[in-house]
Amino acid sequence: MTVRYGTADQLAGLGVRKEVDREGILRAIEIESADLQPCGGTHVKSTGQIGLVLLRRCTKIRQDYRVEFACGGRADRLAAADFQLLRALSDRMSCPPEELLAVAEKALAERDVNFKALKTTLQQLAEARAELLTSRVAAESDGVRVVSEVLRGVHPEFLLPLATELAKNEGTIALLAVEESGQIVFAQHPSVGRDLPQALKEVLATFPGKGGGTKDFVRAKLADGATGAKALGLALRLLTSRASRDSGSAAG
């Protein structure tokens, strides 16, 4: 490798690979018979000045590779931090460092199996709970049944399947809230035809939160979970009063 100095015109005459739009004396690095490249970076006289080179990651990006590395004192610090992290993880998993990958893969596999079993159990529970809640509520004069329930102490993944199961029943609207998390869901059978997005918008104007959805299924998260019962009460009044007005207009 040879270091060459010269102006932009002089380097261009030597066949520099990339022209530089700068004035004054420039530096270019030449690899004989391979490359001549302008470079303003740091170069060393020998590789011994670099010290430790730590290759941390190599990622394929389309047809190229991105290499992440560190050198010198920074490499020493990163290597020490990596070792401390590896040691902490192996202590947590109760295994030597060399077995950590296998233990982690086993734990992830068990997690996936348990999560699948949990989803199956929650679905079965949702079906049973939906049947019970539906049986407790009589249909109104217009044939619509509104199931309003504040859930406490339930798994976070239970709300959506319960709402879905309730909304499978013709003429049914489900208004559900989880007290601990502040989650709310409004769902309806397509035959009901109420404006759930508008009802949610008006509820969130009174009880702050964020959410959205489709014409038959909306959900949100309230800023204060303790307001869930009041939010459902407002949604119930909005949806039933609107239905009464619609019925009155149709009769007139």
Residue-range domain boundaries for the chain: 1-43, 119-251
This prediction has a pTM of 0.66
pLDDT given for residue 243 in this prediction: 56
Q: Classify residue 51 by burial, with Cβ atoms within 10 Å: 0-12, 13-18, 19+.
A: middle
- Judged on CB neighbours under 10 Å (0-12, 13-18, 19+), 248 is exposed
Instruction: From first to last of the 252 residues of the chain, give the pLDDT tens digit.
Output: 788 888 888 878 877 777 777 778 888 877 777 777 777 677 777 888 889 999 999 999 888 889 999 999 999 999 999 999 999 999 999 999 999 999 999 999 999 999 999 999 999 999 999 999 999 998 887 889 999 999 999 998 999 999 999 999 999 999 999 999 999 999 999 999 999 999 999 999 999 999 999 999 999 999 998 999 999 999 999 998 755 555 545 444
Q: What are phi and psi of 35, to 5 degrees?
A: -160, 150
Q: What pLDDT score does 237 carry?
A: 93
The answer to whether residues 148 and 120 touch, using CB atoms and an 8 Å cutoff, is: no
Q: Which CATH number fits domain 119-251: 3.90.1300.10, 3.30.70.890, 3.90.950.10, 3.10.310.40?
A: 3.10.310.40
Element (H, E) at 134: helix 100-136
